[in-house]
Structure 1
Amino acid sequence: MQSVQAITRAPSPPTTTLGYALFATRWLQAPLYFGLVAAQGVYVYKFFNELWALIVRCVTGQATETYVMLAVLKLVDVVMIANLLIMVIVGGYETFVSRIGLQGHRDQPEWLSHVNSNVLKVKLATAIVGISSVHLLQMFVDVHHTSRHSLLWGTVIHMAFIVSAAILAYMSGPMAAQAERAHQSSHQPQQSSHQPEQRHAAEDAPPGRAVIPAQREEVPSAEARLRAAGFPARKLLEDFDAEHPRSFDREAVARLGKLDFVVARRNVVFVGPPGTGKTHLAIGLGVRACQAGHRVLFATAGEWAARLAKAQADGRLGEELHRLDVYPLLIVDEVGYLPFDADTSQLFFRLVAHRYERGSLIVTGDRPLERWDEVFGGAAAPAMVDRLAHHAEVVRLEGDSYRMRRASSEWAG
C-alpha cells in the first residue's frame, strides 16, 4: 500500500520534464551577466582615460581647482558605477542563475553567503542613491555653468531615489524576517504551545558560559544566535590557515561550508592531532550555521558529560535530550583528551542515539572513530560510533601543532 501511495503521489514524467526545462531557462541570463563583465571593462578604460587627462592637465598647469574637483568626482562616479555592476553581476548570478562555490575563500563577500533578491534590491538602491549624490555634487561644484532648471530637477530626482530606497528597505525588512522565520520552522521540530523555549534557559549554556534566551514569538537575530551558541571564540572558515595542516580534504570543508549537512541532519567528525585546526573548523561551521538561521550549541566533551550527568541525576535526562531538539546543530569538542567511565559513556550514547537522523552533530577528536573504545569505557563505544558514522563526513587533518609552531617562531625571533 505504501508503494502504491508513493507512486500515486509522484509527479508524472511529462510534468517533471517540463518543470526542469522551465527551471533550466534561468541559464539564458548567464550571457547577460557576461555582457555586464564587458561593460565593467569599458568603465575601467573610461577611468584610466579620465585619470590620464587629469594628470596631463595638472602637469601642464592647465587644471583649475574646480576642474580638479570635477575630475575627481567623475573618477568616483565611475568607481561607484563599477561597484554597482559588481553587485549586479555577482549577486544577480548567485540569486537567479547558479550558486558560486566560494565557500571557505578568504575574499568571499560577507553578504554573498545569504544573498537574496531583497538584499540585492536594497544594495542596488543604496548604490544608486550614492551615484545620484555624486552627480548632484558635481552640479553644485560647477554651479556657475549649471542652469537652475537642471539644479531643481537634479535635486528632485535625487530625493526620489532616496525615498524609493527608504521604502524598499522598509518593505524588505518584514519580508526577510518572514523568510527567516519560515526557514527556521522548516528545520525545527514542532513544539506544543504549553512547552515554552525559555524553560530552564540557563541550563542550555555550557558550564561557565552565559546564554541569552530567545523569545518564542520573535525570530532571534544572527547575533543573538551567535551569543547563545556558547562559542569560546568566534572563528570564521575564511580565516582558517589552509596551508598549515600537511594534509586535509579542502573540497570536503568547502562542501560542508554550504551547510547542506545541517539540512540533511548529517554529522561531521574532525580527526587529527592537537593544534591542527579541528576546533577552528567546527566553530567556523557553527558560526556560518548561526548566520544562516540555525540555532547552534557548542561545548567540550567534558562540559557535555557534566550537563548530561546533572540531567540524569535530576531525573530529567529524557526531557533534556528532547529540549536539545530545538538546536539543529550541536558541537562536541575535544573528544579523546579525557577518558570517560562506563556511566558517562552511556550518557554520550544516549545523546548520539537520540540525535540519530534527527539533528546534526559536529565532533572533534584526536583519534579516529575505530579507536573510541580507548576513550569511552564499557560497551557503549561501538554502538555509538555506528550511529555517529552512519551519516557522517569524516575529515582527517594531519600536521604539527599550529600553536607550538607559532610559539617556536616567536621564541626564535
Structure 2
Amino acid sequence: MRTVQPTTPPDPLTPSVSPQGTTLGYALFATRWLQAPLYFGLVAAQGVYVYKFFNELWTLIVRCVSGSATETYVMLAVLKLVDVVMIANLLIMTIVGGYETFVSRIGLQGHRDQPEWLSHVNSNVLKVKLATAIVGISSVHLLQMFVDVHHTSHHALLWGTVIHMAFIASAVLLAYMSGPMLREDKGHGSHHGMPEGPRPARGPVERDRPQGPVDPPVPLRAPLPIPAQATSNENYETRFARGTTRLVRYEARREPQAGGAGTGNGNGTGNGNGVEGRIRAAGFPARKLLEEFDEGHPRSFDRLLLARLGTLDFVATGRNVVFVGAPGTGKTHLAIGLGVRACQAGHRVLFATAAEWAARLAGARAEGRLAQELSELDACPLLIVDEAGYLPFDPDTARLFFQLIAHRYERASLIVTSDRPLARWEEIFGGAAPAMVDRLAHHAEIVRLEGDSYRLRRATSAG
C-alpha cells in the first residue's frame, strides 16, 4: 500500500528537539571543552620532544664527526631517536584523535592530508591504537637494553622483559574486549561501515534521517563479497531510464551460450550475459576501464589509493568515493571505471549526472513516491552522481540530494564527481551543504585530481 507524501515535506535539516531538560543537557555537554586545555598541554609536551630529538641528533652528529662514537653508541643513539619519534606519534594520535572523539570535530573533510585512521576513529579504536603504540615503544626500550647488555644488569633485563610481555598481554586483551564493542557499534550504525545482515525495518523516526511518512519495511541486502556472485534466480536488472523518474525492471534476455547449448542464466556465467546486462542497465555514457586511465596525465594523483579502490572494498563496507578536480582531469573516467568493475563483480550500479538525479528525485516527489523511490534504490549497492557542482541547485532540489545521501548513509555506497572541494559545496547546495557533506564525507575516500584538461591537451596537439 502506497503512503501519501505530504505536499510540503518537513525540512530535514530542522530536527525536533524537546525543550524539557535541554538546558541542563547542553550545559553538561559543554563541559567537554574543559578537556581542550589538556590537549593543548600535550602539544607543548610534543614541543619538548622535538627539542629532545634535535638535541640527541646534534650530539650524535658531533660525536660521529669527532670519531669518538662507537658502533654501540650509534645504535643506542638511533634507537633513542626512534623512541622519541614513536612517542611523538603517540602524542599526535592522542591529541588529534582524542580531541576529535571527546571534544569537537576538527573538520578535516576534504583535506588532502587527512589521516586515514581519523575517518573511522572512536574511543575503542583509539584505545587499541594507543595500546599498540605503547607496545612498540616498550619494544624499543627492551631492544636498547639488549644492545647495551654489557652495561645492563640481569635483574633489569628480567624485569624489562616481564614488563614488555605485560604490555603485550594488555594490548591483546584490550583488542579482544574491544571487538564485541565494535561489532555492537556496527549493529547500531555508529562510526563504521554497514552492519552485517539485514537491518531492521525503519520506523517513523530514525536518527539523522529526514522525517516523513512511514515507509514499508525494506530489508537491506548484506554486503556482497568481492568478487560477488549473483544468485541463480536473479531474473531482472535495474536501469536508469532516461527521461523517467523511476526504476524500470526488465527481464534478463536469455541468449544461447557459447557452443549453442543451453541458455544464458543472466548471472555472469556462461557467455557473461549478466555482466553485460548490468553494465547496460547502469546507464554509463561510455564504457571506460580503470586500466585505460592515463595515470601520467594528472599532476597530483594518489595511485595507491586508486589501486585500493579498484578492489571494491568500499562497496562491501558501504563507504563513499568523492573525485574532486578541474574539468578534464579524469573524474568521470575513474567513476565509470569503478562502476564497470563493480558490475563485473556482480553489483548493480546506476550512473547519472547530478542534474539527471535531481530530475529523477523531483519527479518521484511530484508523484508522491519519493520514499518508495529511495527504498528501491537500495537494490543498487553503488550509485554514481557525476558533475556535481557545474550547476547550482535551488533549496528544494538541495533537500532532495540531502535525502538521497542521508538515506544511503552507512547503508550503501556513492561515487560523486565534482569540480569543487567539499568545503565549497555551499555554492552548489546552499544551506543543505554542511549536513550533506557531513554524511557524505564521514565514510569516504577523497581523491584529488590536479592538472590541465585532458581534452584541451588533445585538442591543442591535434591543432
**TM class, shorter-chain normalised?**
0.5 to 0.7
- Pairwise CA RMSD of aligned residues? 4.9
Counterpart of 1:226, as a letter, is: F
Q: From 105, 119, 125, give the equivalent of 2:125.
A: 119
> Could you list the runs of 5+ residues in structure 2 that have no partner in the other structure?
1-15, 203-215, 223-229, 240-274, 280-308, 340-346, 361-370, 389-399, 409-413, 420-428, 438-450
- Contact 2:199–2:220 (CA under 8 A) maintained in structure 1: no
Equivalent position of 2:296 in the other structure: none
Could you tell me how far apart the structure 2 residues matched to 1:364 and 1:236 are? Answer: 6
Percent identity between the aligned chains?
A: 64
Equivalent position of 2:377 in the other structure: 324
- Contact 2:321–2:416 (CA under 8 A) maintained in structure 1: no
Deviations 1:258-294 (A, max 9, x none): xxxxxxxxxxxxxxxxx377648989xx9xxxxxxxx
- Contact 2:200–2:219 (CA under 8 A) maintained in structure 1: no
Q: From 407, 418, 443, give the equivalent of 1:359.
A: 407
Matching of residue 69 in structure 1 with residue 75 in structure 2 = yes
Q: From 226, 234, 244, give the equivalent of 2:314.
A: 226
Give the Å deviation of 1:180. 1.5
In 2 relative to 1, CA 152–205 (structure 1 residues): closer, same or farther, beyond 3 Å? Answer: farther
- Output aligned runs, 1:60-209, within 5 Å: 60-183=66-189, 189-190=201-202, 208=276
Give the Å deviation of 1:208. 3.5
> What TM-score, normalized by structure 1, do the two folds share?
0.57
In 2 relative to 1, CA 105–205 (structure 1 residues): closer, same or farther, beyond 3 Å? Answer: farther
Q: From 350, 364, 367, give the equivalent of 1:299.
A: 350
Equivalent position of 1:33 in the other structure: 39
Could you tell me how far apart the structure 1 residues matched to 2:158 and 2:418 are? Answer: 68
In 2 relative to 1, CA 362–141 (structure 1 residues): closer, same or farther, beyond 3 Å? Answer: closer
Equivalent position of 2:51 in the other structure: 45
- Contact 2:199–2:219 (CA under 8 A) maintained in structure 1: no
Counterpart of 2:314, as a letter, is: L
Instruction: Give the length in aligned residue pairs.
Output: 292
Equivalent position of 1:57 in the other structure: 63
Equivalent position of 2:455 in the other structure: 404
- Contact 1:129–1:158 (CA under 8 A) maintained in structure 2: yes
Q: Give the secondary structure class of the aligned counterpart of 2:384.
A: strand
- Output aligned runs, 1:380-391, within 5 Å: none
- Contact 1:122–1:169 (CA under 8 A) maintained in structure 2: yes
Q: Give the secondary structure class of the aligned counterpart of 1:299.
A: strand
> What TM-score, normalized by structure 2, do the two folds share?
0.51
- Output aligned runs, 1:274-353, within 5 Å: 275=328, 279=332, 298-301=349-352, 322-325=375-378, 330-333=383-386
In 2 relative to 1, CA 209–123 (structure 1 residues): closer, same or farther, beyond 3 Å? Answer: farther
> Could you list the runs of 5+ residues in structure 1 that have no partner in the other structure?
1-8, 212-221, 246-274, 287-295, 309-317, 336-351, 367-388
Could you tell me how far apart the structure 2 residues matched to 1:365 and 1:146 are? Answer: 61
Give the Å deviation of 1:301. 3.8
Counterpart of 1:174, as a letter, is: P
Could you tell me how far apart the structure 1 residues matched to 2:106 and 2:430 are? Answer: 29
Give the Å deviation of 1:176. 1.2
Give the Å deviation of 1:113. 1.2
- Contact 1:27–1:97 (CA under 8 A) maintained in structure 2: yes
- Contact 1:188–1:327 (CA under 8 A) maintained in structure 2: no
Give the Å deviation of 1:175. 1.4
- Contact 2:237–2:278 (CA under 8 A) maintained in structure 1: no
Counterpart of 2:120, as a letter, is: H
Counterpart of 1:165, as a letter, is: A
Could you tell me how far apart the structure 2 residues matched to 1:98 and 1:104 are? Answer: 17
- Output aligned runs, 1:240-255, within 5 Å: 240-241=324-325, 244=326
- The structure carrying a bigger helix percent of its residues is 1
Q: Give the secondary structure class of the aligned counterpart of 2:166.
A: helix
